[in-house]
Amino acid sequence: MTNVEQEVRDERPTERIEAVAAEAPKPSVLDQVGGPVGFVYSTAPVIVFAGANSFLPLPVTIAVSVGAAVLLTAFRMLRGEKFASAVGGLVAVGVAVGLAAWTGSAKDFFAIGIWAALAGFVLTAGSLLARRPVTGVVWNLVHGGTNPWREDRPSLRAHDLATLAAALVFGARFAVQQWLYVIDTTGGLAVARVAMGTPLTVLGALVVVWAFRRSSKRLLRKS
């Protein structure tokens, strides 16, 4: 066999792999945030807690919620999910019910999520005011940290819009859920948590993905 034939044979597997990778469908934004299964994982503990709290005393509600979270964690591990990912949901539920048990108020099950929304809003809105939109900072770090993305006006505008979208998502979650917290409606908080969870995350992620792709097309191909 000649050297040329050997090189052709060596290159063909690589070419086939690249062709298959190019033809493979890219995950949708919904897939990237966990897909329908991720939506179920994030909403099931909320629904169980709110449903149990509607007709059971708080201590029993907490026990039911923890039991459901343990069963959900076991199911996720049986499906082959990573231990850290599966147990992370259980820890989150444990912290939430622990806070509710400590204060004696069912609405405090949602307090950490409300604080997290406020922190997200402060971070994203603050980065906009500082003219360093956080989505652009993250994009730059992912791609080596040396890209002149702030000097490229279309890229900067794209990340302004993406960070603004994220700020609106966080701000809406905080405003609505804080109001429901103040008026003390646990059922309303549960509905708001589900409705403003994955659906708003997907909408915000669409804008962020668009900004990432716009920056990549404009800057990475120039380098």
Instruction: Please report, for the chain, the start and end positions of each structural domain, with discontinuous segments joined by +.
Output: 31-104, 106-223
Tens digit of pLDDT for each residue in 2-51?
554 554 455 444 444 444 444 445 665 555 545 567 677 888 899 999 99
**Mean pLDDT of all residues belonging to the chain:** 85
| CB-based contact 162:207 (threshold 8 Å) | yes
Helix (H) or strand (E) run with residue 62 in it:
helix 58-78
Task: Give the least confident one: 19-33, 46-60, 123-137, 174-188.
Answer: 19-33
Q: In whole angstroms, what is the distance from residue 89 CA to residue 95 CA?
A: 10
Mean pLDDT of the region 140-144: 93
**Of 19 and 141, which is predicted with more confidence?**
141
Amino acid at 200: L
pLDDT at 173: 96
Confidence of residue 214 (pLDDT cuts 50, 70, 90): very high
Q: In whole angstroms, what is the distance from residue 183 CA to residue 189 CA?
A: 10
**Of 168 and 24, which is predicted with more confidence?**
168
* % pLDDT > 70, the chain: 82
CB burial readout 165-190, b (16+ within 10 A) else e: bbbbbbbebbebbbebbeeeebebbb
**pLDDT at 152 exceeding the cut of 90:** yes
pLDDT at 25: 56
Tens digit of pLDDT for each residue in 72-86?
989 888 888 888 877
Q: Among all chains, which residue has been given the structure tokens 């709290």?
A: 53
Confidence of residue 222 (pLDDT cuts 50, 70, 90): low
